[in-house]
Amino acid sequence: MVKKHNGGGSKGGAGKSSKAMKYLIKADLKVNGNVQRKDIIGAIMGQTEGLLGDDLELRKLQRTARIGHVDVEVKSSGGKVNGQILIPSSMDNVETAIIASSLETIDRIGPCAAKITVSEIQDVRSTKVNAVIDRAKDLLLVMVNSGDAATKTVIEEVRSVLTVGTAKNYHGLTCGPNVETSDSLIIVEGRNDVRNLLNFGVKNAISCDGAGNIKQELVELAATKENVILAIDGDRGGEMLFRQLNEMIKIHFVAQAPVGQEWELLPQKTATKCLSQKVETAKFAAKLPADTPSEGSDAWLEEAAAEEAPAEVHEYFDHIADLKANNAVFVNVDGTISEAVGPKSLASAAVEADGAVAIVFNGAVSDRILDIASEAAIETVIGTKEGKGFASRDDVKAWLTEKHA
């Protein structure tokens, strides 16, 4: 029989237990003997007392609601006890890890030998965010399927939110989920082109991030496909992209958007028509005007190479104006903004910034700042321009006001 006990902590501490918990420590327990739940909790409280100093004493942490009640689930069999210990924590990740590791110092419970092994420190907030996202998707699907949406525009907007979630990443390039398994491949210019095609159910498109440095991984992926279609915008930038890729990749067909239009903004009917009317590469190349050098051609190439920043990044740019030079703030997953920190405190603040999704820095983005973001698992950095040692990375995306604003 499995028994559960919620204990450890005075009645006075219980009144404060509403404080939001950030982490949940899960530990496996094995006892070579038949002990009771109160013995286990007593060992946890008693054998860790004084071990970590007054600031991390479990009884005191419970009274201030920084540690919640200790839950113990035990099962007795053959004179031995197995079970699990659950301890919620509202402290930061470092202090929580210290408390968790202290449990493993307990080697006896009463007269019996015991072993406690921490199996997991669960991020409660991350679990809640994932639950919110999953529930929101369910609710959106119910809304769409019930026909309650007022207009086609609203339905398309909801559907676009859902389909964007299916976008994947292939060596830093935004793509549909089927780019590796499909026999055909559609190469487009930017990530928004991929997302627009996903709205229409096209799942084998991949962005090349515009003209400029084409990734070797894209070249190798295209070489494995029986059918490669290049979908370009209806402007000079699209034709320049065709000229560059045609020298690097075996392209079978070209699908060009109507003059002056871009794939990321095409409605479904137009996008489908353009794909169905694709032309062979040789015929498309024959129709192109001679590519004669002219003034401003370098500017055209630079403009084509600049990737368009998504809407949320433009919102991040707005925070730069509120910062002192070389100061930074962290954008959290819920959209809130941290207090500003100076350049000397940036590295330590990044490590402690649980739930941060972006660093907004009022200054040049150097290799050091990208290292700080990478070490803290923060995937987005916002800055003003390229700094010392700046180079693009797979795990951190940098957006600069001089290029993308």
| Number of other residues whose CB lies within 10 A of the CB of residue 109 | 24
Q: In the prediction, which pLDDT does 141 show?
A: 66
SS3 content of the chain, % helix, strand, coil (to 5): 40, 25, 35
Question: pLDDT value at position 50?
Answer: 80
How confident is the prediction for the chain on average, in pLDDT? 81
- Euclidean distance between CA atoms 230 and 310, whole angstroms: 23
Q: Give the least confident one: 30-44, 123-137, 143-157, 231-245.
A: 143-157
Please compute the mean of the pLDDT values over residues 160-178 and round it to a whole number. 75
Structure tokens at 148: 């309650």
The amino acid occupying position 51 is: L
Q: How confident is the model at residue 269 (pLDDT cuts 50, 70, 90)?
A: confident
Instruction: Measure the CA–CA gap between 375 and 294, rounded to whole angstroms.
Output: 45
Q: What pLDDT does 11 receive?
A: 40
- CA 327 to chain centroid: 24
The structure tokens 């730069």 sit at 320
The mean pLDDT of 255-269, rounded to a whole number, is 89
Domain chopping of the chain, boundaries: 2-122, 167-305, 311-404
Instruction: Decide if 56 contacts 98 (C-beta within 8 A).
Output: yes
Nearest to 196 by CA among 169, 149, 231, 244: 231
Q: Is 315 exposed, middle or buried (0-12, 13-18, 19+ CB in 10 A)?
A: middle
Look at residues 226, 223, 228, 224 and name the one whose alpha carbon lies nearest to residue 206: 228
Task: Check residue 146 and give its pLDDT.
Answer: 55
DSSP 8-state assignment for residue 185: E
pLDDT band, residue 359 (cuts 50/70/90): very high
Is pLDDT of 190 > 80?
yes
Q: Is the sign of the CA dihedral 32, 34, 36, 39 positive or negative?
A: negative
Residue ranges of alpha helices (H) inside 253-306 are 268-276, 281-287, 297-305
For residue 354 the two structure tokens come to 């649980």
What is the predicted pLDDT for the residue at 152? 47
Residue range 205-256, pLDDT digits in tens = 999 876 567 888 999 999 999 999 999 998 888 888 898 898 889 999 999 9
Q: Which of 127, 118, 73 is nearest to 97 (CA)?
A: 118
How far is 206 from 174, CA to CA, in rounded Å? 6
Question: Residue with structure tokens 């700080």?
Answer: 372
- How many residues are present in the chain? 405
If one looks up domain 167-305 in CATH, what number appears?
Answer: 3.40.1360.10
Task: Decide: helix, strand or coil at residue 98.
Answer: helix
Domain 2-122 has CATH 3.30.70: yes
Separation between Cα atoms, residue 361 and residue 316, nearest integer Å: 10
- Which CATH superfamily groups domain 311-404? AICAR transformylase, duplication domain (3.40.140.20)
- Please give the C-alpha separations between residue 396 and each of 60, 198, 361, 379, in angstroms, as whole numbers: 40, 24, 14, 4
Interstrand relation of 328-332 and 168-170 (parallel, antiparallel or unpaired): unpaired
Would you say residue 327 has pLDDT above 90? Answer: yes
Q: DSSP letter for 50, please.
A: T
What residues form DSSP beta bridges with 296?
A: none
